[in-house]
Amino acid sequence: MRMTPAALLDLLYADHLTQDGSDLRAFLKRWGPGAPAGPSAFARLAHVAVHAGDRLCASVAGHQAAIRRLFPDTPDDAVTAFCISEDQGPRPSGILSSLTPAADGFRLNGSKKWGSLSPLADLLYVAASIGEAEGRKQLRMVKVASGSAGLTLDASPYATYRDHMPIADLKLVDVAISADAVLAQDAYIDFIKPFRLIEDVYGAVAVQIGVLRVGRAHAWPQDVLEDLTALILQGQAISETPMSRPVDVVLMSAFFRAWDGVWSGLGPAWDLVPPKERARWSPGTGTLGVAARARETRRQNAWAELTSTPNQH
């Protein structure tokens, strides 16, 4: 279901919406089921993020919406995880987990690092290799239910992480996989490659929605609220593009630059928010972080492609 700009504005400025800062799984289970879903998943993102009581809940709302954009058949009430990286990172050449035929379907073997939200997930989307063709590794995404025999999670490497969605490493030993749990598409082209772009945008919009709600509750300056509103509507427009072409990346670059500028200028406004609530939104941590370098590389690559092939976007 497409969410119109007018409907989004009505939701953003609705009164008496419950703000929920409970544990992440309870938050997603409470507000996710029944929220609108569709190919963009933006409507679901907005309907969940307006209830976020802290930055972590908002970010997780964006993370879950990004997964649902790629996998629109995800069960309505499922908490999900997207598990790609291994010891050599997320590149196709480094994905060694294997999916091999068996009498009753397939067997999945391997391991994963950095399975964000996997300790809370009902359903995990796991990347695995089915072999090589023409010198290129062939990858598929596999749906794995939490609690499957042969699946174990280890959260201990991330025990010191704070204010971050729960993470675990995965070990997969002869996990039985039915044929209908293997997605036929090329996992790298259709899922892995676009995920970070989509997650970046959806996560940013979710936090913007939460910050706007905080600002409205504490009488922030009107120009700040206007800037936040405009950013959220721009994020909605981005969500209706493929989010993969050079022209899409150019639009995203402007969006993130504007978001960083607005966030950096919020200092006086945060003084109007009680300290405990202010801490829940971590106003001192910025918006770009470790993703800034990757975004800049994508921006440069996009302009290089647009400049070299101006009529082939």
Per-residue pLDDT reduced to its tens digit, 161-189: 877 899 999 999 999 999 999 999 999 99
- pLDDT recorded at residue 97: 97
Question: What does residue 82 show for φ and ψ, rounded to 5 degrees?
Answer: -120, 105
* Exposure letters 171-180 (e unless 16+ CB within 10 A, then b): ebeebebeee
- pLDDT recorded at residue 265: 93
| Six-digit token string for 91 | 């590149």
Question: Percent of the chain, pLDDT > 70?
Answer: 95
| Six-digit token string for 172 | 């997969």
Averaged over 79-88, what is the pLDDT?
96
C-beta of residue 126 within 8 angstroms of C-beta of residue 177:
no
- pLDDT recorded at residue 289: 54
Whose tokens are 């497409």? That residue is 2
In this model, does residue 242 exceed pLDDT 70?
Answer: yes
Question: What does residue 146 show for φ and ψ, rounded to 5 degrees?
Answer: -60, 145
| Six-digit token string for 29 | 């289970």
- pLDDT recorded at residue 117: 96
In this model, does residue 312 exceed pLDDT 60?
Answer: no
- pLDDT recorded at residue 313: 52
- pLDDT recorded at residue 294: 83
**Angstrom distances, CA of residue 165 to CA of 146, 203, 277, 294:** 17, 12, 19, 21
Every domain of the chain with CATH number 2.40.110.10 lies at 80-182
Q: pTM (2 decimals)?
A: 0.93
The yes/no answer on whether domain 80-182 falls in CATH 1.20.1630.10 is no
- pLDDT recorded at residue 225: 98
C-beta of residue 122 within 8 angstroms of C-beta of residue 28:
no
* Separation CA 164–CA 24 (nearest Å): 10
In this model, does residue 288 exceed pLDDT 60?
Answer: no
Q: Which residues contact 274 (CB under 8 A, 6 or more apart)?
A: none
In this model, does residue 311 exceed pLDDT 70?
Answer: no
In this model, does residue 290 exceed pLDDT 90?
Answer: no
- pLDDT recorded at residue 286: 57
pLDDT one-digit tens code per residue, 125-174: 999 999 998 888 999 999 999 999 999 999 999 999 877 899 999 999 99
